């Protein structure tokens, strides 16, 4: 088999951990596989570089930030090569450019335009482990080093797995896999053995931190199977499968996710008079289009009837609220909307899976737990509800239980975070 | 003018220093010059990477060490670009490969085979400062990142100055320039306004730490004028001139250098019988050739008559002594020499300049100071003497004074070291 393994920063936080990972990599290779390893930067080293940059300058061009930050993955990658050699194995470290990761010129969050892993194949053909610096690529038009943005090392691993037609892409992290809810919130959260890529995409988009949506999307588009595993244990992890669940199992609920620090934004619709009922103007379509084109992370966009007439409402992470409201204000003349209001202090809970109980079912379950709901929104794949931030964890527990996801066994959680 | 400036690690040890250097760079540019800047890694960051590598692995392939260590210069370089932007200027950082520094595959101490600074010229043509990561290059045959070895950032600067036909190559360091002796040893050492490249080469080879011999040699071969200056002051520094001193000034002494921790190695010559006098066998030539071909830093190689017959004697830094003696032992069958002896505890003092007083003059001056001499050796450009290590500084002071180099003004010395 050809296996791509990606290790996050928490798996590489010091010399000891690097040596442990090197041993794991060699063990995989010695059981008869070809192994490509993608390394993130060590522990908090990227954050330290960002702090240093902020100390040096209030004006940090994205091109230079990319030159700066890509050094972190080169360090961990070279150290990993040395650790493998020390254990009697053979390995070669490659930068993103050397591994043939070619991107557009979008510094800070570049998109991959081509993967040409010629040198990776050469290293494998020699019987060595191919080590690739994650998170980075080269823009051939400008000749500049780029980074792939948050979760970029996962994208590197998936892109290499696709280009190499790997049998599996293993993403090693500090948790045992994908859980039916955040195990720090729900003691009875269950480790999922498999999850479909469509459900995984919804979970990643609504709060499951173990994988970034971009990575899941890339994997789905290129038919790559991802296995999320812990680098601290030998557990089987979670397989993010490209095949849908077997026929006959029926629609199920996969998990409950949550996101804190959400704001509710409302845009008054002057065209919807007091008697308008649900016959809203074109404002909903126009606002949706505007928000999507500006790539705001707006969610749950919908028209709501109010005593005064109507409004368009949506949620947005608190950090993105000022930018989003500014966008609407700038387009007020064209859209002709009324006042824009921001309401903070919310959290969003989501039930993911085609078998979800719908807005009414969620509202009922939360009401049963004494939790008020400010807004709901449902698609075929998930239903989300907006509640007070200080009741968010209660809401997660209530829905996890209501959807029969609780297991008797408590999940084992390890400390740390990965990139 | 086109000016290449190189800043060492001690000039870039923290955010404040980087901002100060950025201001200096911009000041140079704004007074009407095109500026190319070569940055070393920040402060001790390279040593920290080496420590980390040693912690991770007892088997550190040179290729991987190069991948590891080159990250340091990329960091300082990118930070410098940000600092320049913060001050309202424009700058672009380039890796060694991007700057067109092409080398052979000699990882750890690669030789430059071509400099093609196309992108450096592009950056300058836009009116921006071109920042180049020092110490590193690319081997085109293998596609691998290489390093240029100790003093490599100086070599980068000189190589770029040559390829760009720069008007001057300024090497910024933590001392005011090249002194007639180490100012920490000789209070009256004088700052040299100019020094010929031939004398500078001798000084660098015999203990002046401000420039590495390779760098001076590269500059001389390519007709580059180096100016050694302090990044802490606005002093004029020392110009290492490609032109010899003006006619009529006559031969002079330029400076007194010293190297501690030297060993004396003697190789008995069985072919030189008790009556051989100075008619030594071919051993001297054979030993010289062997030492040169193995690139040992052997110095003062000579045949010496002894009561027992004769021997070949030379000096070598203590750190290189075991390897050097091992080399001779391995070739004993072919060379047919007698016992090889190592004697430690010596220092070497050298007087550089065509007007040096010769072996007899040096021996007399040292005898006058009560310092015994174990070996002397002279060329047209310098004379060296081997004395007890604990008298080495006294020897430097005695010769500096005897050669009329003392000045009344004490030199100002700054702390720190540079790469």
CATH number at residue B340: 3.30.2130.10
Average of pLDDT values for B139-159?
96
What residues in B contact A74, CB-CB < 8 Å? 67-68, 70-71
Report if residue B68 sits inside a domain. yes
Q: Where are the alpha helices (DSSP H) in A99-256?
A: 118-125, 152-163, 197-205, 213-221
Are B16 and B165 in the same domain? Answer: yes
Pairing relationship of beta strands B101-103 and B112-115 according to DSSP bridges: antiparallel
Among candidate residues A379, A393, A373, the one with its CA nearest the CA of residue A299: A379
Q: What is the pLDDT of residue A307?
A: 75
Are B155 and B45 in the same domain? Answer: yes
Q: Verify whether the Cβ–Cβ distance B95 to A63 is below 8 Å.
A: no
Are A277 and A373 in the same domain? Answer: yes
What residues in B contact A65, CB-CB < 8 Å? 78, 82
Give burial (CB, 10 Å; 0-12/13-18/19+) of A42.
Answer: buried
Q: What is the pLDDT of residues B198-210, one digit of tens each?
A: 999 999 999 998 9
Are B311 and B162 in the same domain? Answer: no
Final residue belonging to a domain, choices B174, B207, B224: B174
Are B21 and B136 in the same domain? Answer: yes
Final residue belonging to a domain, choices A131, A153, A174: A174
How many residue contacts between A and B have a Cβ separation below 8 Å? 118
Report if residue A286 sits inside a domain. yes
Measured between alpha carbons, how far is B177 from B223 in angstroms, rounded to an integer?
20
Q: What is the pLDDT of residues B349-358, one digit of tens each?
A: 999 999 999 9
Q: Verify whether the Cβ–Cβ distance B145 to A79 is below 8 Å.
A: no
Q: What is the pLDDT of residue B252?
A: 86
Token pair in block for residue B135:
């110490």
Report if residue B180 sits inside a domain. no
Report if residue B97 sits inside a domain. yes
Q: What is the pLDDT of residue A283?
A: 87
Among candidate residues B132, B145, B143, the one with its CA nearest the CA of residue B99: B132
The interface predicted TM-score (ipTM) is: 0.85
Mean pLDDT over all residues of chain B? 92
What residues in B contact A56, CB-CB < 8 Å? 15, 18-19, 79, 82-83, 86
Report if residue B414 sits inside a domain. no
Final residue belonging to a domain, choices A140, A174, A208: A174
**Cross-chain CB nearest to A60 (options B71, B82, B98):** B82
Are A265 and A136 in the same domain? Answer: no
What residues in B contact A85, CB-CB < 8 Å? 57, 59-61, 64
A92-to-A71, A153, A374, B220, B355 alpha-carbon distances in Å = 17, 18, 54, 37, 54
| Binding-site residues on chain A for chain B (CB distance < 8 A) | 15, 18-19, 49, 52-53, 55-61, 63-65, 67-68, 70-72, 74-75, 77-79, 81-83, 85-86, 92-93, 95, 98, 119, 143-145
Total number of domains in chain B = 2
Are B316 and B169 in the same domain? Answer: no
Report if residue A205 sits inside a domain. no
Weakly modelled stretches of chain A, pLDDT under 50? 278, 410-419
Q: What is the pLDDT of residue A62?
A: 97
Interior/surface letters A384-417, b for 16+ CB within 10 angstroms, e for the rest: bbbbebebbbbbbbbbbbbbebbeeeebeeeeee
Domain that holds residue A272: 255-402
Coarse DSSP helix, strand, coil percentages of chain B, rounded to the nearest 5 percent: 35, 25, 40
Are B169 and B272 in the same domain? Answer: no
Confidence class for position B305, pLDDT limits 50, 70, 90: confident
Report if residue B103 sits inside a domain. yes
Q: What is the pLDDT of residues B310-333, one digit of tens each?
A: 889 999 999 999 999 999 999 999
Report if residue B189 sits inside a domain. no
B404-to-A22, B358, B392 alpha-carbon distances in Å = 62, 15, 19
Are B6 and B109 in the same domain? Answer: yes
B302-to-A408, B143, B202, B298, B314 alpha-carbon distances in Å = 86, 44, 19, 11, 6
What residues in A contact B119, CB-CB < 8 Å? 143
DSSP lists the bridge partners of residue B130 as B36, B92
Are B382 and B266 in the same domain? Answer: yes
User: What is the number of other CB atoms lying within 10 angstroms of the CB of residue B362?
Assistant: 27
Average of pLDDT values for B390-402?
96
Average of pLDDT values for B42-55?
95
As a whole number of Å, the CA-based R_g of chain B is 23
Are B271 and B385 in the same domain? Answer: yes
Residue to test with chain B: of A19, A78, A123, most B Cβ within 10 A: A78
SS3 A345: strand
CA distance A118 to chain B (A): 12
Residue B113 DSSP class: E
Q: What is the pLDDT of residue A304?
A: 83
Are B134 and B264 in the same domain? Answer: no
What CATH code is carried by the domain that includes residue B17? 3.40.1160.10
For residues B408, B409, B412, B418, the Cα torsion angle rounded to the nearest 10 degrees is: -50
């Amino acid at each position: 088999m050809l296996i791509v393994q990606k290790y996050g920063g928490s798996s590489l936080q010091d010399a000891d951990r690097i040596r442990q990972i090197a041993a794991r990599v060699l063990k995989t290779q010695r059981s008869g596989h070809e192994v490509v390893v993608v390394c993130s930067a060590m522990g908090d080293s990227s954050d330290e570089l960002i702090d240093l940059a902020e100390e040096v300058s209030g004006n940090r061009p994205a091109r230079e930030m990319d030159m700066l930050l890509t050094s972190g993955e080169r360090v961990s990658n070279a150290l990993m090569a040395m650790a493998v050699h020390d254990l009697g194995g053979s390995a070669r470290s490659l930068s993103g450019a050397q591994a043939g990761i070619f991107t557009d010129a979008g510094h800070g969050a570049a998109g991959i335009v081509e993967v040409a892993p010629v040198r990776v194949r050469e290293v494998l053909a020699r019987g060595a482990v191919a080590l690739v610096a994650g998170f980075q690529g080269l823009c051939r038009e400008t000749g500049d080093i780029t980074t792939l943005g948050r979760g970029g090392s996962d994208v590197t691993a998936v892109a290499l797995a696709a280009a190499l037609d790997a049998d599996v892409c293993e993403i090693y992290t500090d948790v045992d896999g994908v859980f039916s809810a955040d195990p720090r919130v729900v003691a009875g959260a269950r480790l999922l053995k498999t999850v479909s890529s469509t459900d995984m995409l919804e979970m990643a988009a609504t709060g499951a931190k173990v994988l970034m949506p971009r990575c899941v999307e890339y994997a789905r588009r290129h038919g790559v199977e991802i296995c999320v595993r812990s680098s601290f244990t030998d557990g089987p992890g979670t397989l993010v499968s490209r095949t849908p669940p077997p026929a006959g199992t029926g629609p199920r609920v996969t998990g409950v996710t949550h996101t804190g620090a959400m704001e509710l934004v409302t845009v008054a619709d002057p065209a919807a008079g007091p008697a308008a009922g649900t016959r809203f103007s074109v404002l909903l379509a126009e606002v949706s289009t505007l928000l999507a084109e500006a790539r705001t992370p707006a969610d749950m966009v919908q028209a709501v009837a109010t005593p005064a007439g109507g409004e368009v409402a949506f949620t947005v992470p608190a950090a993105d609220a000022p930018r989003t409201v500014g966008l609407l204000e700038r387009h007020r003349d064209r859209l002709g909307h009324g006042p824009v209001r921001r309401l903070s202090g919310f959290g969003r809970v989501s039930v993911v899976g085609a078998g979800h109980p719908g807005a009414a079912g969620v509202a009922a379950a939360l009401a049963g737990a004494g939790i008020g709901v400010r807004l709901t929104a449902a698609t075929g794949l998930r239903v989300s509800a907006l509640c007070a931030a200080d009741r968010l964890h209660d809401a997660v527990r209530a829905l996890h239980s209501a959807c029969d996801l609780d297991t008797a066994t408590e999940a084992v959680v390890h400390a740390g975070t990965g990139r």
